[in-house]
Amino acid sequence: MVTHYKVSGHLACGSHGEKLPATTELAKVKCRNCRKTEVFTEARRNARNAARRAARREKAARAVNDWRTSWEARLAALPGPQRLPRGFGDQAFV
């Protein structure tokens, strides 16, 4: 059965009927006419861009934490009472 894309209470392809299956999830839409509409392509583009932005933010957060943990390990490996800078935990001395 063909699943349509529903936008603000209407089907994107313009079909009418109360018993037509419709969804707002982009991956489940099977109607070719709905997939060709401007509303569907814009929604798909927005979802794709949001996923890319989230991945980019996650990658940047991981990179920030990687240099920090490696630097803390390097300072901890130094001999003597080497002091960690402010903001690097509650350790007064390593």
Quick check: 12 and 20 in contact, CB under 8 A? no
The model's pLDDT over 54-90, given as tens digits with 9 standing for 90+, comes to 999 988 877 766 777 777 778 777 776 666 666 665 5
- Residue 74: its pLDDT value, please? 81
d(CA 45, CA 58): 20
Which pLDDT does position 42 carry in this prediction?
97
Residue 39 in this model has a pLDDT that exceeds 60: yes
* Host H or E run for residue 60: helix 38-77
Contact 3, 27 (CB under 8 A): no
Q: Are the C-beta atoms of 39 and 12 separated by less than 8 Å?
A: yes
